[in-house]
Amino acid sequence: MDNPIRTAEHLARMAKRREDLTSLLVQLIPAATSIIWEVGCGHGHFLAAYAAAHPDQLCLGVDISIDRIRRGQRKRDRAKLVNLHFIHAEARDFLDALPAHASIASVFILFPDPWPKRRHHKNRILQPEFLAAVAQRAGQGAQLHFRTDHEPYFRDSELVIQAHPDWKILPEPWPFEQETVFQSLAPIHHSLTAGRRVGH
Ligand SMILES: C[S@@+](CC[C@H](N)C(=O)[O-])C[C@H]1O[C@@H](n2cnc3c(N)ncnc32)[C@H](O)[C@@H]1O
């Protein structure tokens, strides 16, 4: 049976974490802004290079690993990139805490954990519910960029996106090249770009 005191402490910690994330995002995004969001940004190689090449775009990288986020922050500080922030958060918590005046222009999902066993597929980030949640915060013309070295995950994701009411796969070239840590270990990879469907 659950210990009610520990459960209450856990719930209080979670509420405090959500509150802190909300305040941080309001501070980082004080006015109506379109953001570039990288989910599971790891050490931040991709987004640091992207932010340097797009100084007019606000870039936010999110990861559940605090060590990886700290590495990203060091990259940002060394390069003095004021349009880049790395945030320790879970992807869905980030979406829930995003201020109403912020909208997503692009989301990058690069080499996410493939969870190869069928019984673990439910842990994959690219799921219909996640796509719907991103679409709710995505601006007109928003794009989602997905890259993986795991071919079965790529094929499954194509099917998930093709069947989704909010997104459609676009014949777009990959928008920006910068090798990530996991990409450097991958002999071959597959990429797709999806666009938010008009009218949604
Ligand atoms: C396989 S690594 C890829 C890292 C980086 N994108 C790269 O290509 O080198 C997956 C990353 O996603 C992060 N991650 C996994 N689930 C996440 C979630 N729900 N929200 C945020 N980050 C997540 C992990 O901590 C890890 O850093």
Helices of type H across the chain: 4-28, 45-53, 66-79, 91-97, 128-136, 151-162, 181-184
Residues within a 6 A CB radius of ligand 1:
39-42, 62-65, 68, 90-91, 110-113, 125, 180-183
What pLDDT sits at residue 198?
85
Judge whether 113 counts as a catalytic residue. yes
What pLDDT sits at residue 190?
97
Nearest alpha carbon, ligand 1 atom 15: 40
Task: List the pLDDT tens digit at each of the 200 positions of the chain.
Answer: 578 888 999 999 999 999 999 999 999 998 999 999 999 999 999 999 999 999 999 999 999 999 999 999 999 999 999 999 999 999 999 999 999 999 999 999 999 999 999 999 999 999 999 999 999 999 999 999 999 999 999 999 999 999 999 999 999 999 999 999 999 999 899 999 999 998 75
d(C-alpha 190, C-alpha 105), whole Å: 22
Domains of the chain are: 4-196 (3.40.50.150)
What pLDDT sits at residue 8?
92
Nearest alpha carbon, ligand 1 atom 23: 40
Q: How far is the CA of 1 from the centre of ligand 1 (A)?
A: 33
d(C-alpha 144, C-alpha 196), whole Å: 8
| pTM for the model | 0.96
What pLDDT sits at residue 1?
53
